[in-house]
Amino acid sequence: MTDIVERRMLFIGGKWTGPAGSDTIDIVSPVTEQVVGRVPHATPADVDKAVAAAREAFDHGPWPRATLAERIEVVTRIKDALAARHRELAELVTLQNGSPMLFSVRGQALSAVGVFATALASAAQCTLEDERQGTGGPVLVRREPVGVVAAVTPWNVPQLTIAGKLAPALLAGCAVILKPSPETPLDALWLADVCAEAGLPEGVLSVLPADRETSSYLVAHPGIDKVAFTGSVGAGKAIMVSAARNLTRVSLELGGKSAAILLDDADLSVAVPAIVGGTCAANSGQACVALTRVLVPASRYDEVAAVLTGAFASLKVGDPADPETAVGPMVTRNQQRRNLDYIRIGQEEGAEVLTGGGVPEGLTTGWYVEPTLFGEVTNDMRIAREEIFGPVVCLIRYETEAEAVAIANDSDFGLSGAVFGADTDHATEVARHIRTGTITVNGFRLDLAAPFGGYKHSGIGREFGPEGLAAYFEYKTVNLPAPAKA
């Protein structure tokens, strides 16, 4: 049995500190169903301590008052350490998440490195003061850090979502209290060591693993200036309500039910690998950007169904440490049950299971779900409207291109998507009509240098690229004296 990874201290204000309470969080392997880690459970008292340290660091400390070049130097050291130790990070994520190792390396560890790199590139191009001519005289526009940030992150891609908040917040000069998911806190505490070794000043970062009760206390705290959250729509709505009481700024990256539209001339040798990579092979389907609705011309429905069925059925499901594994377990037993419940619901609604539909044969230990492709799905079914968060995909037929666009847009979500067609100019034109934050033509991609976020219930605000950095600034206008008349 693997030795338990145990942390006895919390990282509060840049120091390893004993927790206020005695409760702990057990991290259970999705593969073995055995405890593989244990960390302290942060309490509201720990939150108060972290907020006090962050407020002191922000209100009086050197970090917000450092030059941008000085902050870039420290954040570069964090990025370089992540790059040098990315394999160690990937193994830790696979241990707690059950992500296939290939995805843990590329989609978890190296993606975090990429977010830090692109944030640094944006910061290098940023100017903190711009002078311009106003209507009544010269104006100085300043970019100042928003303040103390509560970064609340999910379990599915913990390092990617942490980096999307931590990197720009630090570069802007903010102090950050990171609240990782209780299912997967090991990598966040590991990152605390990296940040401390990089020379991040005292008070600038705290890491508090905790459940929803402590998280709710954190986001409602009057000492917080901004909440940056990635997670479910329900939790995002609750955060908005809580933050509104203090007029706390919020950015929310929430769920998705993204559509992949295959046009009449789509090349299946291009489309099918992208759809497989953007669904079942994307963290075993546990990805908010997953292409879970595949829209197909009625004239090509049988052809596409047959090819996709074969592709899904051929995916290797099993031990995430095996480099040949494409689909690992769900992160928790509840997530496995959720997927299996939706598979049952889909069948009750009249959809047809083309492949999958249950627990893989021989995998009775671990929280596995077969890659499942539903055919004969209509867009009003629950499996087509609600986020399942697993390797479950819906095949929906359409008659006209206009109908395909209407189906794609007929969703409460608008996070990701794809359009496939041999005529790339035309496919790009179709993509312009889809109300979603990110869409790819003839592929599946999340570009870390471009703004990422959603329309509708998929969230508010953007992460990554210059837009992601801008989210951590307040803008101040200084009206300068008009020049004396000659």
Cα Rg, the chain, nearest whole Å: 23
Report the topology of domain 5-254+459-476: Aldehyde Dehydrogenase; Chain A, domain 1 (3.40.605)
Specify the pLDDT at position 335. Answer: 97
Catalytic one of 288, 370, 376, 463? 288
Question: One fold for both 5-254+459-476 and 259-449?
Answer: no
Virtual CA dihedral for 223, 227, 233, 234, nearest 10 degrees? -10
Examine the pLDDT at 347 and tell me if it is beyond 70.
Answer: yes
Sequence-ordered strand ranges (E) for 160-247: 175-179, 205-207, 226-230
In this structure, what DSSP letter does residue 205 have?
E
Examine the pLDDT at 150 and tell me if it is beyond 70.
Answer: yes
Examine the pLDDT at 136 and tell me if it is beyond 50.
Answer: yes
What percentage of residues in the chain have a pLDDT greater than 90?
98
Q: Give this prediction's pTM.
A: 0.96
CB 413 within 8 A of CB 387: yes
- Judged by DSSP in three states, 216 sits in helix
CB 247 within 8 A of CB 241: no
**Which secondary structure element, helix H or strand E, spans residue 413, and what is its range?**
strand 413-414
Active site residue 33: no
What one-letter code names the amino acid at 349? E
Average pLDDT, the chain: 97
Examine the pLDDT at 486 and tell me if it is beyond 70.
Answer: no
Going by C-alpha positions, the residue among 403, 394, 413 that lies closest to residue 349 is 394
Q: For residue range 237-288, what is the model confidence (pLDDT) as tens digits?
A: 999 999 999 999 999 999 999 999 999 999 999 999 999 999 999 999 999 9
CATH tag, 259-449: 3.40.309.10
Active site residue 288: yes
Here the tokens at position 1 are 């049995």
Examine the pLDDT at 49 and tell me if it is beyond 60.
Answer: yes
Ranges of each domain in the chain: 5-254+459-476, 259-449
Give 150: exposed, middle or buried? Use CB within 10 Å, 0-12, 13-18, 19+: buried
Catalytic one of 174, 183, 195, 253? 253
Q: DSSP assignment of 143-183, as one string? A: EEE--EEEEE--SSSHHHHHHHHHHHHHHHT-EEEEE--TT
**Order of strands, edge to edge, in the sheet holding 473-479?**
129-133, 138-145, 473-479
* Nearest-angstrom CA–CA distance, 38 and 485: 71
* Nearest-angstrom CA–CA distance, 200 and 219: 23
Q: How confident is the model at residue 2 (pLDDT cuts 50, 70, 90)?
A: low
Q: For residue range 379-402, what is the model confidence (pLDDT) as tens digits?
A: 999 999 999 999 999 999 999 999
Going by C-alpha positions, the residue among 275, 315, 286, 282 that lies closest to residue 395 is 275
Give 128: exposed, middle or buried? Use CB within 10 Å, 0-12, 13-18, 19+: middle
Q: What is the arithmetic mean of pLDDT over 58-62?
A: 98
Specify the pLDDT at position 1. Answer: 44
What percentage of residues in the chain have a pLDDT greater than 70?
99
Q: What is the arithmetic mean of pLDDT over 413-430?
A: 98
* Nearest-angstrom CA–CA distance, 186 and 172: 26
Residue 416 contacts by C-beta under 8 Å, 6 or more apart in sequence? Answer: 256, 258, 278, 288, 289, 290, 291, 436, 437, 438, 439, 440, 446
- Judged by DSSP in three states, 132 sits in strand
